[in-house]
Amino acid sequence: MAELTDLIESSDLDGLIRRIEGICAARHWDDLIELRDRCLEAVSRGKQLWGVAQFAEYRVALEAPATYAGRVVREGAGRFALGPLWEVAASTHTWPEISAHVDDARLRTLIAHERLLRGEAPPEDEIDPHVLEAPLCLEPWEPAYPVAAYRSDRADFPEPEWTDLDWVELSGPVARAEPDDALEALLALVSPWTEQSNGRAEGVVVTGSALDAIRTLGPHRARVAEIDGGEALALMAWTAASGGAYGRRRGSPVGRMYAWWALASLLGLDDIEDPDLLGAGIGELVWMRWDPGDQIGGWGFHLAVADPDDGLAWAISAVDAV
């Protein structure tokens, strides 16, 4: 271990990363845990090796057997990793494999919900139902949610399939209504973008149509597509799972829960305990995906929704960029 000591004491980041790659290729997981531990010890002495330690933990969560991966899945771990380590571990380990090695009730529940989105059906009696209010089953009215693809050196967060947008000329703006719980829930979808990153978000409530709400935000013309509730739910969940450019990713199960809460708030419901009410109401709203047509790169979330029965409509525009 003299070589490892030299790499640590000289803070040789490139050399330590190469060593991690070699350990992973040889699948010597005890060695990787030792490297992580020694880097953390060095951090306590002022060495700037926290990034190496976190990268080592990320690779353990992603590639090591569940007996090792479960050891790095803990609260606060992976703050600057490509994604939360519970989501990383759940992307490559089945529920029977990983559940036996994660004791924290909250993290076990998040892993179970991630496995649900990946096609598995973890038993409900093995999780804490109070962690996420959304049920540990997919309702018939829900879409297929895209999930993260983690790799050794990068992560992909595929977007849902979108309906094509077409340009529309918008009529004059209308008077804004008072902000309400539904608008607050829509803005909460992008709170990591605005609170932890460079993002900005604006939303309105109006008495009128979804197009009226978009125009009241400012654009004289926009690219617009009316979409069904499933596509809208997938859009909201994908957005809420993301951390944007620099915010911490919340993960797909958390994104799904935020989308459920936004739907419930738009329907005037106080909770999400009755999926049948949500399923009945999602098709009664008019959903529109839109954009102003001037965004290049970065993260964007533009949604408008109208409740024809109440005559109210909401629109939100959020962007974040590197």
pTM value > 0.85: yes
Beta bridge partners of 137: none
Longest Cα pair distance anywhere in the chain, in angstroms? 73
Check residue 76 and give its pLDDT.
80
Residue 294 has pLDDT above 80, yes or no: no
Check residue 252 and give its pLDDT.
98
Does residue 201 sit in the same domain as residue 268? yes
Does residue 149 sit in the same domain as residue 198? no
Does residue 180 sit in the same domain as residue 264? yes
Does residue 190 sit in the same domain as residue 108? no
Name the token pair of 162: 């979108």
C-alpha gyration radius of the chain = 22
Beta carbons of 272 and 278 less than 8 angstroms apart? yes
Question: Can you tell me the mean pLDDT for 123-136?
Answer: 94
Beta carbons of 272 and 134 less than 8 angstroms apart? yes
Beta pairing, strands 200-207 & 312-320 = antiparallel
Does residue 151 sit in the same domain as residue 180? no
Residue 60 has pLDDT above 90, yes or no: yes
Residue 296 has pLDDT above 70, yes or no: no
Assign 208 a pLDDT band (cuts: 50, 70, 90): very high
Question: In 3D, which of 231, 204, 219 has the Cα closest to residue 304?
Answer: 204
Beta bridge partners of 315: 204, 304
pLDDT > 70: what percent of the chain?
99
Residue 75 has pLDDT above 90, yes or no: no
Distance CA 64, CA 51 (A): 19
pLDDT digits (tens, 9 = 90+) for 3-58: 999 999 999 999 999 999 999 999 999 999 999 999 999 999 999 999 999 999 99
Final residue of a domain: which of 156, 186, 202? 156
Domain that holds residue 184: 166-320
Residue 1 has pLDDT above 80, yes or no: no
Beta carbons of 49 and 88 less than 8 angstroms apart? no
Assign 2 a pLDDT band (cuts: 50, 70, 90): confident
**Amino acid, single-letter form, for residue 191:** S
Distance CA 157, CA 251 (A): 10
Residue 17: inside a domain, yes or no?
yes
Residue 161: inside a domain, yes or no?
no
Does residue 150 sit in the same domain as residue 203? no
Distance CA 208, CA 225 (A): 18
